[in-house]
Amino acid sequence: MVVSPIDYRYGRKEVKEIFSEKSRIEYMLKIEASLARAEADLNIIPRNYADIIAKHANLSDVKIERVKEIEREIGHDVMALVRALSEVCGEAGGFVHLGATSNDILDTATALQLKRFYDYLEEDIGNLSKALYEKAKRHMKTVMIGRTHGQHALPITFGLKVAVYLAEMLRHSERVMESRKRVIVGKFMGAVGTGAALGKDSLKVQARLMEILGLRAEEGPTQIVGRDRLVEYVSVMAGISTTMEKLATEIRNLQRPEIGEVQEPFDESRQVGSSSMAQKINPVVSENIASLARIVRGFLIPMHESAILWHERDLTNSAAERFIIPYVSILTDDILTKMTKVIEGLKVNEDVMLKNVLNDDLSLGEAYLMALVKAGFGRQEAHEIIRKASMDVRKKGGKLRERVEEIAGRKIKSISPLDYTGNAVAITRNILKMYEKRYSVKRKNKG
């Protein structure tokens, strides 16, 4: 029986596979095999026994059904796997899991899962950043109205709007790369973090085990790896999801008919917008991204709570983390890949952007304020003139510049919104250069 929508509706198959039950058990078997090898390298167990353990530490010999059967009997998942592996190893089975505690295996398995996932995550961020880069570069000089408080403010360019998101993704890229070294760690220090079972050899075994697995070791373990590491991981994922929802919300707003400046990809030949209103083109992907992003962020508090454990460890984190780590990872990948497709296929209605900015004479209020200051008015006096003139135009219509001239008793130069975008192009170019430096892109032209 399938219950969770993540099993049949959300997430990419290749990413879900990383966090599947099958892969989790395979990682645990890999760690048990690597542990035996490390202990053999240090002459703690016979080499031939380590070879036997490694030979049988796979799902062809250790059946998932057998592991579950043992777990139903004894009520312990790791010990069930250890017994199932020991059963197929003959005499060598007596050396399986030697000196280890459950979370030596569980936390190290999580590290291996996240190590693999980070590769997908970095690729996701790179793909979306590239799509944003291309869109910002193409629309570097596409003038549109800027909005604050949902109201028309000043002219900007669509390239700048997109470049702002690109800069944010570049920061996320840094956070992901920086967090790798803190998040992806394993351990082999036993029940309370002292490694007492193997004495001084524990540190050597841990070092060799992590070398084999390609992981860093937790420098200050208890029975578990420090949960501040997973708190950081989930926080980074939540930050990425926040950016995705923010971008999705912007697209949804700009797609509203009364604005109509962009439209997310829509297959007009077959896609259905509504079951009852066949004429509709709904921003369903952007809405889906927003919905999933909220789920990712919803795991922030449970992950923080899971870091607060009694003494050297209790079990109050275990059930929560079985949901948190897979769901946060799978859904973050899902929203990143969806957003990349949205940006790549985003329809930008340049003519509507131009119409919206040209039809709002009030968007030049700041420009005329500065013109008055240059003409000799004090800044506060000029501000009041612009305010009064704007209110009059809203009530009676007309042109803002003409009403300003009437109130001020002074002629001022006419300004086009197309010429009042400040440093939008320069800022966009600087962000594009940041992307090019980060991803070693050679510029074919200056744009």
Structural domain contains residue 176: yes
Q: Is 302 a domain residue?
A: yes
Q: Is the dihedral of CA 294, 237, 16, 121 positive or negative?
A: positive
Query: Which of residues 65, 95, 125 is at a domain's end?
Result: 95
In a domain, 35, yes or no: yes
- Whether 128 and 86 share a structural domain: no
Q: What is the pLDDT of residue 442?
A: 65
Q: Could you report the per-residue pLDDT of 245-262, keeping only the tens digit for each?
A: 999 999 999 999 999 999
- Domain presence at residue 429: no
Residue 320 lies in a domain: yes
pLDDT at 68 over 70: yes
Residues 20 and 34 in one domain: yes
| Residue span of the structural domain in which 376 resides | 360-419
Q: Which of 95, 115, 135 is the last residue of a domain?
A: 95
Q: Which of 52, 47, 43, 39 is nearest to 104 (CA)?
A: 39
The CATH number given to whatever domain includes residue 143 is 1.20.200.10
Q: Which of 369, 445, 438 is nearest to 177 (CA)?
A: 438
Instruction: Tell me the per-residue pLDDT of 136-167, one tens digit each, with 9 for 90 and over.
Output: 999 999 999 999 999 999 999 999 999 999 99
**Residues designated as active site:** 149, 274
Query: Within 5-150, where are the H helices?
Result: 5-8, 13-18, 21-41, 47-56, 64-74, 77-87, 102-138
Residue 19 lies in a domain: yes
User: Mean pLDDT throughout 296-300?
Assistant: 98
State the pLDDT confidence band at 443, using cuts at 50, 70 and 90: low
Same structural domain, 300 and 193:
yes
Question: Would you say 7 and 331 are in contact if contact means Cβ atoms under 8 Å apart?
Answer: no
Nearest C-alpha neighbor of 182 from the set 128, 226, 137, 244:
226
CATH number at 17 reads: 1.10.275.10
Q: What is the pLDDT of residue 31?
A: 98
* Whether residue 304 sits in one domain with residue 202: yes
Instruction: Give CA–CA dist 411/405, Å, rounded.
Output: 5
Q: In the structure encoding, which two tokens stand for residue 21, read together?
A: 């039950």
Same domain, 343 and 204: yes
Query: Residues 341-367: what's their mean pLDDT?
Result: 96
**Does residue 435 form part of some domain?**
no
- Tell me, yes or no, whether 183 and 289 share the same domain: yes
Does one domain contain both 106 and 37? no
- The mean of the pLDDT values for the chain is 95
Q: Which two tokens stand for residue 308?
A: 């607060």
pTM of the model: 0.94
| Residues 219, 195 share a domain | yes
Distinct helix (H) and strand (E) counts, the chain: 18, 6
**In a 3-state reduction of DSSP, which class is residue 70?**
helix
Residues 349 and 228 occupy one common structural domain: yes
Across 169-183, 296-310, 431-445, least confident range: 431-445
**How many domains would you assign to the chain?**
3
For residue 442, give the DSSP letter: P
The answer to whether residues 203 and 253 belong to one domain is yes
- Same domain for 88 and 131, yes or no, is no
pLDDT tens by residue, 381-406: 999 999 999 999 999 999 999 999 99
pLDDT confidence bin for 441, thresholds 50/70/90? confident
Picking from 95, 126, 149, the residue at the C-terminal end of a domain is 95
- Looking at the fold, whether 126 and 84 belong to one and the same domain comes out as no
Q: Is residue 427 part of a domain?
A: no
